[in-house]
Structure 1
Amino acid sequence: MDQQTLLIPASPIFSFRECHWFLDRDYDDCMHTIRGESVLKAIRTPFGDILFGVSGDGEFLKTTILNGPVTPDARNFLADYVADWFDVRRDIGPFYELLRADSRVAYMAEAFRGLRLVGISDMFEAICWSIIGQQINLTFAYKLKRRMVERYGTHIGWGGEVFPVFPAPEVLAGANIEELRAMQFSQKKAEYVVGIARAFAEGKLCPELIAALPDFESRQKALTAYKGVGIWTANYVLMKTFRMPEGIPHGDVGLLNALTGHGIIGERSEKDKIEAFFNAFPGWETYLTFYLWRSLAVKRLP
Structure 2
Amino acid sequence: MSEHHHTIALPAGYRHADAFTFHGRDADALAERVEPEAGRSHGGRIRKGVLLGGVPVMLDITLHADRAECSVASDGAAPGDVVHDALVNMLGMRIDPAPFEDAVRDDPLLGPVVARQPGLRVIQSATVFEALTWAIIGQQINLSFAIALRRTFIGLAGRAHSSGLWCYPEAADVARLDLEQLTSRKFSGAKAETLLRFARLVADGALSLDRADDPAAVGERLLAVKGIGPWTVNYALLRGWGYADCSLHGDVAVRNAIGRLRGTERPGLREAETFLEAYRPHRTMAAAYLWASLSQDAG
TM-score, with length taken from structure 1: 0.85
Task: State the distance in 2 between where 1:195 and 1:166 align.
Answer: 18
**1:282-293 → structure 2 map (5 Å cutoff):** 282-293=280-291
Distance 1:189 1:77, change over 3 A: closer
Task: State the distance in 1 between where 2:143 and 2:12 align.
Answer: 32
Per-residue deviation, 1:25: 4.9
Amino acid at match of 1:205: L
**1:117-196 → structure 2 map (5 Å cutoff):** 117-158=122-163, 162-196=164-198
- 1:236 aligns with 235
Per-residue deviation, 1:276: 4.8
Per-residue deviation, 1:193: 1.0
Deviations, residues 30-67 of structure 1 (Å, cap 9, x unaligned): 442212332110122348322122232122122223x3
Task: State the distance in 1 between where 2:155 and 2:174 align.
Answer: 12
Identity %: 25
- 1:53 aligns with 60
- 2:6 aligns with 6
Deviations, residues 210-242 of structure 1 (Å, cap 9, x unaligned): 7434x52x3322111111111111111122212
Higher mean Cα deviation, 4-13 or 194-203? 4-13
- 2:83 aligns with 78
**1:179-258 → structure 2 map (5 Å cutoff):** 179-208=181-210, 211-213=212-214, 216=216, 218-258=217-257
Task: State the distance in 2 between where 1:182 and 1:194 align.
Answer: 15
Aligned equivalent of 2:74, options 49, 68, 79:
68
Contact 1:87-1:116 at 8 Å conserved across structures: yes
TM-score, with length taken from structure 2: 0.85
Contact 1:51-1:156 at 8 Å conserved across structures: yes
Give the superposed CA RMSD.
2.7
Distance 1:181 1:47, change over 3 A: closer
Q: When the two structures are aligned, how many residues end up with a matched partner?
A: 290
Contact 1:16-1:55 at 8 Å conserved across structures: no
- 1:115 aligns with 120
Gaps of 5+ in 1: none
In structure 1, the residue corresponding to 2:104 is in which secondary structure? helix
Amino acid at match of 1:38: R
Task: State the distance in 1 between where 2:31 and 2:116 align.
Answer: 27
